């Protein structure tokens, strides 16, 4: 092959600027935000059956996006190929399972609010492990972002169930630990996400067979499941994985609080929620949090 041949994908990826990768990571937020609206079309499908199907679709889509990488000269092949995939599968399955378990003790709104402490966990764990330099503007951004979440969640009545709160926190911690893991294990690993979603689909499928009845999806539910696997599943996590590793991970962590805001705005556009002062106030807090985090030190 001559010297004029195209550069390999990994080299082309490295040539992209950090700001560009940050913009790629930001795409994950509106994509994740489509999940609540899509899930309304799958309410009759048991939870683990729905998750297994969504994760399976995501795995199939990502198998087309991710290119296999020969890294046998760097790491034992099974470690390089499967350890990151196992970490991702644990994060995806853990978040879902702990959330569902938490809703047995507390409301879904409260469980979601507590689980969305994961951006604060990422910043805290990143500082603890020396991944981040903790700055006042990021702390301020996390506080304002969570305050915006609280406003968006209406007046969620906090329960006294330590079990429910603990399970919801474990759900957030599952994803936060994976985010830190990916900052430590930054290199591309080929089909990491496809394998991870495949493992998560298998796990949820097993849980479904033992815990739930099987219901055949309707045409509408099947379309919603496929769309969920493509948008908030495959595309969102592909964008987040690349942007978070190669872009401004702290800014992306803070702006992740905009995901529930985007969800609420999408529900407004679809006529499923009203545009209220509460929504505008929460939006303002989250936007201020993102601007504060983006301000140069």
CB 288, CB 59: distance < 8 Å: no
- How many Cβ atoms are within 10 Å of 13's Cβ, its own excluded? 13
- Give the separation between CA 109 and CA 161, rounded to whole angstroms: 14
- Give the separation between CA 228 and CA 208, rounded to whole angstroms: 18
> What angle, 0 to 180 degrees and rounded to 10, lies between the N-to-C axes of helices 258-269 and 277-294?
140
CB 32, CB 259: distance < 8 Å: yes
H or E segment at 297? Answer: none
CB 148, CB 113: distance < 8 Å: no
For every residue of 231-287, DSSP letters joined together read: IIIIIHHHHHHHHHHHS-HHHHHHHTTHHHHHHHHHHHHTTSS---HHHHHHHHHHH
- pLDDT at residue 185, as a whole number: 77
- Give the separation between CA 27 and CA 239, rounded to whole angstroms: 6
pTM of the model: 0.82
Q: Could you read off the pLDDT tens digit of each residue along the chain, which spans 297 residues?
A: 333 344 444 445 557 788 899 999 999 999 998 988 888 888 889 999 999 999 999 999 998 876 655 444 444 555 566 788 899 999 999 998 898 888 888 777 777 777 888 888 888 888 888 777 777 777 777 787 787 777 766 655 556 678 888 898 899 899 999 999 988 876 665 578 999 999 999 999 999 999 999 999 999 999 999 999 999 999 999 999 989 988 888 888 888 878 877 887 887 788 777 777 777 777 777 777 766 666 544
Residue extents of the structural domains in the chain: 18-234+244-294
């Amino acid at each position: 092959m001559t010297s004029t041949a195209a550069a390999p994908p990994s080299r082309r990826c490295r040539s992209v600027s950090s700001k560009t990768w940050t913009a790629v990571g930001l795409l994950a937020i509106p994509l994740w935000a489509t999940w609540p609206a899509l899930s309304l079309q799958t309410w009759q499908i048991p939870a683990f059956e729905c998750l297994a199907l969504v994760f399976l679709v995501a795995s199939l889509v990502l198998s087309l996006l991710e290119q296999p990488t020969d890294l046998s000269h760097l790491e034992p092949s099974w470690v390089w190929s499967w350890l990151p995939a196992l970490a991702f599968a644990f994060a995806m399955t853990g978040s879902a399972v702990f959330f569902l378990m938490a809703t047995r003790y507390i409301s879904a709104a409260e469980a979601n609010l507590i689980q969305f402490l994961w951006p604060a966990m990422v910043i805290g764990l990143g500082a603890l492990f020396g991944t981040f330099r903790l700055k006042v503007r990021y702390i301020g951004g996390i506080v304002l972002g969570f305050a915006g979440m609280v406003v968006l969640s209406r007046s969620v009545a906090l329960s006294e169930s330590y079990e429910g709160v603990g399970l919801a926190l474990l759900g957030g911690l599952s994803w936060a630990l994976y985010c830190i893991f990916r900052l430590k294990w930054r290199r591309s690993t080929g089909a990491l996400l496809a394998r991870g979603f495949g493992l998560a689909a298998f796990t949820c499928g097993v849980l479904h067979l033992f815990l739930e009845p099987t219901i055949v999806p309707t045409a509408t539910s099947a379309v919603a499941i496929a769309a969920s696997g493509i948008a908030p599943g495959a595309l969102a996590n592909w964008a987040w994985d690349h942007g978070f590793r190669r872009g401004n991970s702290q800014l992306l962590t803070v702006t992740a609080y905009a995901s529930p805001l985007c969800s609420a705005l999408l529900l407004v556009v679809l006529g499923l929620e009203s545009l209220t002062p509460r929504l505008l106030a929460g939006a303002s807090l989250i936007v201020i949090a993102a601007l504060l985090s983006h301000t140069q030190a």
